[in-house]
Amino acid sequence: MRSLPARLWRSLVRPRGLRTHPFHHASRRSRSSESGVALIVVVTSIVVMTTVVAEMAFGARVRFLLSGHQAEEAQAYWLARTGVNIYRLILTGNYQLKQSSTMQSIGEATGINMGDALWQAVPFLSSGLMRMVFVSGGATDDVEEGEVEQIRRTGTVSEEVAEESREKSRFSDKGFLDFDGDFTAEITDEERKVNVNAFATRSASATLQENATAQALYGLMSGLENDQWFYDRNIDRWEIISNLADWVDADTTRCGLQGGYEDDLYNRLEDPYLSKNAAFDTKEEIRLVAGWEGEVFDRYEDQLTVWGSGKINVNTADREMLVGLLRAYASTSDDLGNTMVDLMEQYAMVTSFQSTSDFMSYLESQGIQVSDELKNMITTSSSVFTVTSMGVVGDTAVTITAVLDYTSSALGSTKYWRVD
């Protein structure tokens, strides 16, 4: 048999168009698939690593900012403490003046009540005010009016004055006012208000209307404007005053005209509770008393306190309180009460009341017949004070509210302390 031509033989052995063995195609597809998987793994790894790095960077940034904020908060807190401590020093000096018989004699001769003279001389202070005085050397006449207005508005001074006040002092390498941030502080006395805790010592044998604290409260809540306000809300003033007394007295019987069990007022609430039968710990606790939950408390909050002797300082009480006392103990009209307070303010520009007898005599000299019970409700000196001090560093502010009692000690005692 003739042998087939080589070309024909090759065509029979390997069909036309077939370049490689099928095994070679499978190998190529396998390598291509492996390359795609590797690319996906690489891209995924990059994405994950980028996310992790970004998260770490963000966390580090947050921790950095948080640590900076905490540092500013700590600085602001101690600046606020500075304001409180300065007032502690002032109040200690004020106590010493009050205890000195020599200074009392000088006060009587000059018409100055030494019991309140020192703290009333500094009702407000700030680092801005201190910087201004430090830079001016005490000569405030040279201080620009804009600087004074800025201190009143913000408690700070211009950066030029602040930088000058930070210069080194003659006593140390660091200036007295060389610190970042500022503080502002103010002081008020608690004896200018009605102390509702005085109900705790109320005589059970006497009616509520005979109680001095209740009379002062009712006088404060009386007058034409108040009459209309309570009438519009259908609120009985003696009833809500009796609720205050029931909250702090020791028994469980209501002292109001309706009588009954004290806790009946609170048992029917959605979340019932019992009356405390003990003194208020804070002024906000008054909101728990029936009738004092909302508008009434908001209206009289600034005239109420839970600290102090229970007597009202006629030298520091505001106009509303003084008119209320005259309503309660002298049965004066609003017009006559306001006229009398105008005369008292003019009197205070010259001198101050040295004693309760001095105040009573003054009213009698003006033709006002006052109940003798008023003498047991008033005082002419304060011993318990609220200091509110705020420290500011950067965008961080910390406020301290402290109630300080200087009744029996030059060092004083802290009755309340709150940091916001």
Chain segment 296-309, per-residue pLDDT in tens: 999 999 999 999 98
Which amino acid does the sequence have at 249?
D
Q: What is the model's pLDDT at position 118?
A: 87
Q: Do residues 245 and 214 make contact, with C-beta atoms less than 8 angstroms apart?
A: yes
Q: What is the model's pLDDT at position 141?
A: 54
pTM for the whole thing? 0.77
Backbone angles phi, psi at 349, to 5 degrees: -70, -20
Q: What is the model's pLDDT at position 21?
A: 52
CB environment 5-37: b (16+ within 10 A), e (fewer): eeeeeeeeeeeeeeeeeeeeeeeeeeeeeeeee
Ranges of the chain whose pLDDT falls below 50:
1-2, 8-9, 12, 17-18, 23, 170-171
Q: Give the residue range(s) of CATH 1.10.40.60 domains in the chain.
A: 194-379
Q: What is the model's pLDDT at position 171?
A: 47
Q: What is the model's pLDDT at position 203?
A: 78
Q: What is the model's pLDDT at position 113?
A: 79
Q: What is the model's pLDDT at position 107?
A: 76
Gap between the Cα atoms of 152 and 405, Å rounded: 28
* CATH 1.10.1040.10 matches 194-379: no
Q: What is the model's pLDDT at position 209?
A: 87
- Helix 319-330 with 334-348: angle, nearest 10 deg: 120
What digits encode the pLDDT tens for the residues 20-38?
Answer: 555 455 555 555 566 666 7
Q: What is the model's pLDDT at position 97?
A: 87
Q: What is the model's pLDDT at position 180?
A: 79
**β strands within 329-395, DSSP E:** 378-379, 384-393
